[in-house]
């Protein structure tokens, strides 16, 4: 059997749950938090992992996985290197999208909106809470730049470890947090016969959330 034939043979019937307009929360952030709490209890490796899409100056999208580190009334926060590809793209175009996928629950959530940097104080607070090895990695890595070799990466890391000893580490200026403020959130629940439930929230002119069902 060819690879394509094996792909076509992969079939899963979604029948774990359903989603109805009358049962969802009026605020999509409250609804998301409820689903995230269920994902945290499910057999998901990293339930706070999501795909983050940004747009380059040439209009082409780029995509990578990041980890959600905070959720509040403003939106969805994550941390990264400001000079990385995603950081540079967000500096030119703040529009972004996130996708959370929880296979064990047969669910996904799509989020679209504008991204803004968190305050220095917020980034400092999160950086100080990270394990030391993660702090060192953020300091030493010129993320997304070309590396001469793996040896170069390891040597630069070892040099930083040796030079800092056990001293406290400060957040580097090139690293910090972003918050995606949602304008669109769609909740997807797998259903039988590929007739999935899709409930979306869209902000209206008065910043109120409008709830609609989409065809699967």
Per-run averaged pLDDT (10 residues), the chain, 216 residues:
77 90 96 98 97 97 98 97 98 98 98 98 98 96 95 96 95 98 98 97 91 98
The dihedral over CA atoms of 25, 31, 37, 39, expressed in degrees to the nearest 10, equals 120
Active site residue 194: yes
210, β-bridge pairs: 202
In a domain, 173, yes or no: yes
In a domain, 143, yes or no: no
Number of structural domains (the chain) is 1
In a domain, 83, yes or no: yes
Q: Residue 137: its pLDDT value, please?
A: 95
Residue 115 belongs to domain spanning: 14-129+169-214
Element spanning 86, H or E: helix 85-92
Catalytic pick among 6, 11, 150, 194 = 194
**CATH code: domain of residue 207:** 2.30.110.10
Residues 6+ apart with CB under 8 A from 110: 97, 98, 99, 184, 185, 186, 188
Q: Residue 173: its pLDDT value, please?
A: 96
Percentages of the chain per state (helix, strand, coil), in multiples of 5: 30, 30, 35
Which tokens belong to 70? 């905070």
* DSSP strand pairing (209-214 vs 76-81): unpaired
In a domain, 67, yes or no: yes
Q: Residue 196: its pLDDT value, please?
A: 98
User: Do 52 and 63 touch, CB atoms closer than 8 A?
Assistant: yes
In a domain, 96, yes or no: yes
Q: Residue 114: its pLDDT value, please?
A: 98
User: Do 48 and 68 touch, CB atoms closer than 8 A?
Assistant: yes
Q: Residue 125: its pLDDT value, please?
A: 98
User: Measuring CA to CA, which residue among 71, 91, 55 is closest to residue 185?
Assistant: 71
Q: Residue 8: its pLDDT value, please?
A: 77
Q: Residue 1: its pLDDT value, please?
A: 76
Please state, in angstroms and rounded to a whole number, the distance separating the CA atoms of residues 97 and 55: 10
In a domain, 38, yes or no: yes
């Amino acid at each position: 059997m060819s690879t394509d034939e094996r792909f076509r043979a992969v079939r899963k019937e979604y029948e774990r749950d359903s989603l109805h307009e009358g049962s969802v929360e009026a605020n999509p952030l409250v609804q998301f938090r409820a689903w995230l709490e269920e994902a945290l209890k499910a057999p998901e490796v990293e339930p706070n992992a999501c795909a983050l899409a940004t747009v380059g100056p040439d209009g082409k999208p780029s995509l990578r996985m990041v980890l959600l580190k905070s959720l509040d009334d403003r939106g969805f926060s994550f941390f990264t290197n400001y000079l990385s590809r995603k950081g540079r793209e967000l500096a030119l175009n703040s529009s972004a999208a996130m996708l959370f996928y929880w296979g064990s629950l047969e669910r996904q959530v799509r989020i679209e909106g504008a991204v803004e940097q968190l305050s220095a104080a917020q980034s400092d607070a999160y950086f100080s809470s990270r394990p030391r090895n993660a702090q060192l990695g953020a300091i030493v890595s010129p993320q997304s730049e070309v590396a001469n070799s793996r040896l170069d990466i390891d040597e630069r890391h070892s040099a930083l470890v040796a030079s800092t000893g056990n001293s406290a580490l400060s957040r580097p200026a090139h690293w910090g947090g972003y918050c995606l403020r949602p304008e669109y959130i769609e909740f997807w629940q797998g259903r039988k016969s590929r007739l999935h439930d899709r409930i979306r929230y869209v902000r209206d002119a008065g910043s109120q959330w409008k709830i609609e069902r989409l065809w699967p």
